[in-house]
Copies of this chain bind each other. A is one copy, B any other.
Amino acid sequence: MKIVELSGGVGGARLARGLSALEEVELSVVVNVGDDERVHGLYVCPDLDTVVYTLAGVEGPEGWGRAGDTFFANEELARFGVDNSFRLGDRDLALNLFRTELLHRGEPLSEVTRRIVAAFGLTSSVLPASDDPLHTRVRIEDGRWLSFQEYFVTRRHRDRVVELDYEGAATAEPAPGVVEAIEEADLVVIGPSNPPLSIWPILAVEAIRKTLQAHPKVVAVSPLLGGRALKGPADQVMASLGLAPGNAGVVEAYDGLIDILVVDQGDATDAGRLTGVDVLVTDTRIPDGPSARRLAAEIAAP
C-alpha cells in the first residue's frame, strides 16, 4: 500500500513514524519548507529534520533536534553577541553544515534530503514540498511582516496573526517525485499539523494542491482536541484568520481537499456536527511510538 503524508513538524513526524512502521506500507512524506531559514549562515529546515530524526528514532525530547544532543557551539555563539535563541545542537549542526555546503554547490534540496535520508538508513522517502524558495511570512497585529522563525522562535508565537503569505509559492514547482507520489498513492494523509502554518505552505504550490484535489482518498488528522491545539498555536492562528472554532475550522482549512477527517474521541459530539466530510473518531494523541502506530493502522485500514 502506497501512502503519502503531508507533514509539518512534530505531530506529522510522529504520525509518519507510525505509518512507516506498518507492514507493507510504502511511505512518502511531503514536508513543509515554509519554515526553512538561514540561521548563522546555515540553511536550516526544521520540519524536514524533525521528520527525518523522528523516522530514525533519534529525535529530541521535545520532538525537534537530536536525542542527547549537546549545545556547546550554540552556547559559545553568545560570546560573540549572536542571537542564539534558535537552538541548534552540536550533532544537529553537522547535518546543517552538510546540507548548506551541498546547497551552495548547487544540489537541489530534494537531492540533499535524499542523501540525508540514506545516511540515516531510512526506508521511507522524505520529500521537501519544493526545491524552490518558499517562505512563510506572518503579519502580526501591529502590521509588521515577520519571518516564520522570528514569529515562532524569537517571539515564541505570542503575537496575534492577522495574515499569512507564502513568499515564492506562486512560482514554486513541486520537488521531483512529489506529484507522482501523490498520484500513485492509495491514500493521502494530512498529518496533525498546524493547517495554516504547516500544511497551507505545501498546498500553496499549485500543482500539489491540484493533484491532491484529484485524489480519491485524502484523510486529514485534526491537530485539535477540545478545540485546542495539542502543541503550538494552531487554534489561535486559525481563529485569528477567521476559521470556525474546533474541527469545523479544520474542515474549512482543507475545504474541498479532504474526504475524511480524523477527530479525537474527546470531540465526538463536535464531530457529529461536521458536514461535507466523513469523520473517523478515535484517540488522536500520539505521545509515543505505539500510539502513533495504532493511529496509523486505523487510518490505513481499508
Contacts and interface: CB of A to CB of B under 8 A. Distances in A.
A79 B77 CA distance: 25
A80 B107 CA distance: 15
A41 B103 CA distance: 10
A40 interface: yes
Interface residues of A, number: 29
| SS of A interface (majority) | helix
Contacts of A73: 73, 90-91, 93-94, 97
A115 interface: yes
A282 to B, nearest CB: 37
Contact of A42 (B77, B80, B95, B97): B97
A116 B82 CA distance: 12
A40 to B, nearest CB: 4
Given A41-B100, A77-B94, 10 more contacts: A42-B97, A72-B72, A72-B91, A73-B73, A73-B94, A73-B97, A76-B90, A76-B93, A76-B95, A80-B116
A194 interface: no
Contacts of A41: 97, 100-101, 104
A75 to B, nearest CB: 8
Contacts of A247: none
Contact of A101 (B40, B90, B119): B40
A70 interface: yes
B90 A70 contact: yes
A122 to B, nearest CB: 13
A143 interface: no
A74 to B, nearest CB: 7
Nearest to A120: B79
* Top 10 A-B residue pairs of the complex, sorted by shortest distance between their CB atoms: A76-B94, A72-B90, A41-B101, A80-B98, A73-B93, A76-B91, A90-B90, A40-B97, A73-B94, A73-B90
Contact of A77 (B70, B81, B97): B97
Contacts of A120: 79
